[in-house]
Amino acid sequence: MRALTWHGTNDVRVDTVSDPEIINPRDAIIKITSTAICGSDLHLYDGVIPGVAPGDVLGHEFMGEVVETGSASDLEKGQRVVVPFTISCGGCFHCKQQQYSACDNSNPAEKQDMSATLYGQPMAALFGYSHLTGGYSGGQAEYARVPFSDVGPIVVPDHLEDDKVLFLSDILPTGWMAAENADIQPDDTVAVWGCGPVGLFAIQSAIVMGASKVIAIDRYPNRLELAKQLGAEIIDFRETDVREALMEMSGGIGVDAVIDAVGMESHGFAIDNMFDVVKQKVGMGADRASALKQAILAVRFGGKVSIPGVYGGMTDKWPLGAMMEKGLQIRGGQTHVQKYTKQLLEKIEDGTLDTTFLISHRLPLEQAAEGYKNFKEQQNEWTKVILKPGMEN
Amino acid sequence: MSQNSKIGAGLGGVVLTAGAIAFGAFLSNRHQNRGYDDAANHTKRQPEGSNAQVGRSVTIRKPRAELFAFWSDFSNLPQFMENVEAIEAGADGASTWRIKAPPGQTVAVKTEIASKKQDELIAWRSVEDSEIETSGEVRFEDAPGERGTRVSLVMAYDPPAGALGRAVAKLFLREPQVQARHDLKRFKMLMETGEIATSARTRDETRAAKQENG
Ligand SMILES: [Zn+2]
Ligand SMILES: [Zn+2]
């Protein structure tokens, strides 16, 4: 089959690789109809995530048609499914708590040691996202092997086209969980750093959850415009002192909740000598966390801090005093996708949530490398890219 | 048996004889900790390289009796114990473990049950003048609430001194601590999900990975 493979920093290519096969009883094989490039794919592209090997097939946001099933899969050939980026068994302690992104059993035993060194506990598996998270082939390809296919994939009705449901795989539930982690109450003022796809969905979710005011912070006019269309007030951080502005916009109290949808900055990713031991073992250094630090200073006493942005390693100069003195609640987390897919599919069907507004480009899979390059370098215009295997060039 | 596997068995014998002696002492000490705290003996700080015991616990979301029954049938163990090719039951309650030894050889070890308590404990050790001496035990305890069962696997291990000894142990027996951890994780996967996770894309890749490990 054809698949987008990683070759090195800033080097991804569409190659011919072996077709996936059913290996375990609960597997299914999906013929992919749509797959997106995610902001976190750019961390792989930038080469800042360790454990990626040349030839690895990337992509964790995908959907398609079931073409083959293992003996214990409950899917049927011909069904259209969206596949969560988190691989979850459904039977372990964490899965039973609906903490799907902490599944004990999806990361192969021999691959768990690397992340256990970094976090004290091993990570669950994700599609197409480094051998830290299992080294599973991703979905920027013609086909994908989907383990635990009775737990992850959600069957979508035929009347909803791919563009409407594809983002159930990651960024929509991620934005939703970001807002949920900000514990939004009806009269809250919420500030969101980053108007990439996750930030935009967090803004939309916060509004649906009843926030009285959502303030979006970014530097790209087009992305700020998308936030404005959703009903947010906007701040361009190149133009404005963000903390001053937030204090004014919240009537001097400070915002009730903050959401950091920026995460580690892939550009200028710094290595801190203090963490050489960890770095030697897992190849991760210090994360720059300037948006998060700013968010913690801007939130009100007793405020809520939500971190959907991806961080990998350590950070320094953490505003510990602010966290303690202001009595903050801080919640992060990889998305428990399977917990949200059903309710969010209903909200898409009844029109409460729109997922199509941020799609800027649709490309054939063969042009995936071009998609990566532009998504990274032209963030103002290339807001979200969908790849379609089989689409005419 | 080929020349190579004799070397493997010989080195294994040295390592595991020491291990079996340590294990006897260890078993008698397990429930009367030498230290003053409540931590298991295999988590006590030890001088570098003198890792006498390896052990690990996992929580498995299945009833104690079910896990005990599965483990009691030793022929099930090679499904998740990666360096064990097969375990055949003998007439006298003993069984023969066929352990992979590089390159591509196996070493036979005859073991007997040292102690067994229904739904709680299974301990085994190699019989006298076995090709390799080895021993281990697995314990099953109820976990709190609906968490299932805590399963603890403990094996004695006493590598030959120094860096060379560790290198030999790694080469011929694989790192026992790592092995124990991975085996238990695979046991948990098998019990909780009915399969053992692999990120391979093709069946050939899984086969290749297994051969590499074996
Ligand atoms: Zn994503
Ligand atoms: Zn699980």
Find the ligand nearest to A151 CA.
Answer: 2
CB atoms A108 and B201 under 8 Å: no
CB atoms B201 and A18 under 8 Å: yes
Q: Left if phi > 0, otherwise alpha if psi is -120 to 50, otherwise beta: which for A327?
A: left
Chain A residues inside the 8 Å CB shell of B198: 23-24, 108
Residue A366, pLDDT > 50, answer: yes
CB atoms A109 and B197 under 8 Å: yes
Q: Which residue has the higher pLDDT, A224 or B82?
A: A224
Residue boundaries of the structural domains of chain B? 53-193
pLDDT band at A9 (very low <50, low <70, confident <90, very high): very high
Q: In terms of Cα–Cα distance, which of A13, A3, A6, A31 is closest to A146?
A: A31
**pLDDT, tens digit, for every residue of A129-186?**
999 999 999 999 999 999 999 999 999 999 999 999 999 999 999 999 999 999 999 9
pLDDT band at B32 (very low <50, low <70, confident <90, very high): very low
Write the residue in A24, A92, A113 that is nearest to B198 by C-beta. A24
If you measure from the C-alpha of residue A224 to the centroid of ligand 1, how many angstroms do you get, rounded to a whole number? 20
Cβ B21 vs Cβ B120: under 8 Å: no
Chain A residues inside the 8 Å CB shell of B196: 24, 108-109
Find the ligand nearest to A87 CA.
Answer: 2
Chain A residues inside the 8 Å CB shell of B206: 23
Burial profile A151-160: b = 16 or more Cβ within 10 angstroms, e = fewer:
bbbbebeeeb
- Sign of the torsion angle spanned by Cα atoms B175, B176, B181, B184: positive
Which pLDDT belongs to residue B173? 54
**pLDDT, tens digit, for every residue of A302-340?**
999 999 887 877 777 789 999 999 999 999 989 999 999
| Across A213-217, B1-5, B157-161, B203-207, least confident range | B1-5
A379's CB contacts (< 8 A; 6+ apart) are: A196, A220, A223
**pLDDT, tens digit, for every residue of B128-175?**
776 666 788 999 999 999 999 999 998 875 544 555 545 545 554 556
Which pLDDT belongs to residue B106? 76
Indicate the CATH number for domain B53-193. Answer: 3.30.530.20
Closest Cα in chain A to B181: A109
pLDDT band at A50 (very low <50, low <70, confident <90, very high): confident
Residue A298, pLDDT > 90, answer: yes
A111's CB contacts (< 8 A; 6+ apart) are: A131, A132, A134, A135, B199
Cβ-Cβ contacts under 8 Å between A and B: the total is 85
Average pLDDT over residues B92-117: 82
For chain A, strand residue ranges (E) read 2-8, 11-16, 28-37, 61-69, 80-83, 86-87, 125-126, 143-146, 154-155, 189-193, 213-218, 233-236, 255-260, 299-307, 329-332, 361-364, 385-388
Residue A299, pLDDT > 60, answer: yes
**pLDDT, tens digit, for every residue of A56-96?**
999 999 999 999 999 999 999 999 999 999 999 999 999 99
**pLDDT, tens digit, for every residue of A104-128?**
999 999 999 888 888 889 999 999 9
CB atoms A93 and B148 under 8 Å: yes
Model confidence, pTM? 0.88
